[in-house]
Chain A
Amino acid sequence: DIQMTQSPSSLSASVGDRVTITCRASHTIYTYLNWYEQKPGKAPKLLIFAASDLQSGVPSRFSGRGSGTDFTLTITSLQPEDFATYYCQQSYSAPLTFGGGTKVEIK
């Protein structure tokens, strides 16, 4: 199975900050990588697919980069509604696996 490791597991940031979350795969997954946002008590929401493509309706302050084993999700100018937990997911091989999550909290 491909292991997905996110860092940090949590971070504190202020509104307006630039935030970067890292996801590392245990084997190459090329660009078979998605990012999701989950708010408390809600279902996850797709943000980024294929490592860098923005899902329709997602604000342009979200961006993804990377290929192979190392990926990043960046939020430029953090907004109040962005405080949530973010997960990466690989779809290169079954079982599909998620990272452990990064909780973005208000500083």
Chain B
Amino acid sequence: QVQLVQSGSELREPGASVMVSCKASGYTFTSYTLNWVRQSPGQGLEWMGDINTNTGNPTYAQGFTGRFVFSLDTSVSTAYLQISGLTSEDTAVYYCARDFTFYCVGSSCQRRFDSWGQGTLVTVSS
């Protein structure tokens, strides 16, 4: 069955960097875009952007440019989220989610996040 397994919780000091991994199994990794979603403590869901697992092309939402980098290692069916220059505002649970796009009309696509990783808690504290 489709599974996304993320790396474990991380504790970092302000200014440091962190890398979160998301390993996929049960399907062809390069056939589905992967998304990253942030959930700050007690808050809702925020789409950070996505990465085309076929081309490696990332798309970043506003507010997630510069310090955030999406990358892939297709040889091990794994996506990565790297965050640099961490601040306390980056403390959150980060999820990866598989994107099932089933049709597009122009630039609008029926997309759904049909499988999610378990989430990785990143805590930034001195």
CA distance A1 to B63 in the complex (A): 13
CA distance A49 to B109 in the complex (A): 12
Does A66 reach chain B (CB closer than 8 Å)?
A: no
Q: Mark A87-104, 1 if CB is under 8 A from B, else 0.
A: 101011111111111000
Q: Mark B106-122, 1 if CB is under 8 A from A, else 0.
A: 01111111101111000
Does A46 reach chain B (CB closer than 8 Å)?
A: yes
Does A34 reach chain B (CB closer than 8 Å)?
A: yes
Does B61 reach chain A (CB closer than 8 Å)?
A: yes
B44 near A34 with CB under 8 A, answer: no
Q: How many residues of B contact A (CB 8 A)?
A: 24
Chain A contacts of B97 at CB under 8 A? 44
Q: Which residue of A lies closest to B101 (CB)?
A: A91
Contact residue range for chain A? 20 to 34
Determine how close the nearest CB of chain B comes to the CB of A71; give it in whole angstroms. 14
Q: Which residue of B lies closest to A29 (CB)?
A: B108
Number of residue pairs spanning A and B whose beta carbons lie under 8 angstroms apart: 68
A36 near B113 with CB under 8 A, answer: yes
Whether A98 contacts B44 in the complex (CB less than 8 A), given A50-B110, A91-B111, comes out as: yes
Contact of A45 among B35, B62, B116 (CB under 8 A): B116
B110 near A49 with CB under 8 A, answer: yes
Q: Mark B26-61, 1 if CB is under 8 A from A, else 0.
A: 000000000101000000111101000000000101
Binding site for A on B (CB under 8 A): 35, 37, 44-47, 49, 59, 61-62, 95, 97, 107-114, 116-119
Binding site for B on A (CB under 8 A): 1, 30-32, 34, 36, 38, 42-46, 49-50, 55, 87, 89, 91-101
Question: Besides the contacts A49-B112, A49-B114, A91-B112, what 14 more A-B pairs have beta carbons closer than 8 Å?
Answer: A32-B110, A32-B111, A34-B112, A38-B45, A43-B117, A44-B37, A44-B95, A44-B97, A46-B114, A93-B108, A95-B61, A96-B35, A96-B47, A101-B44
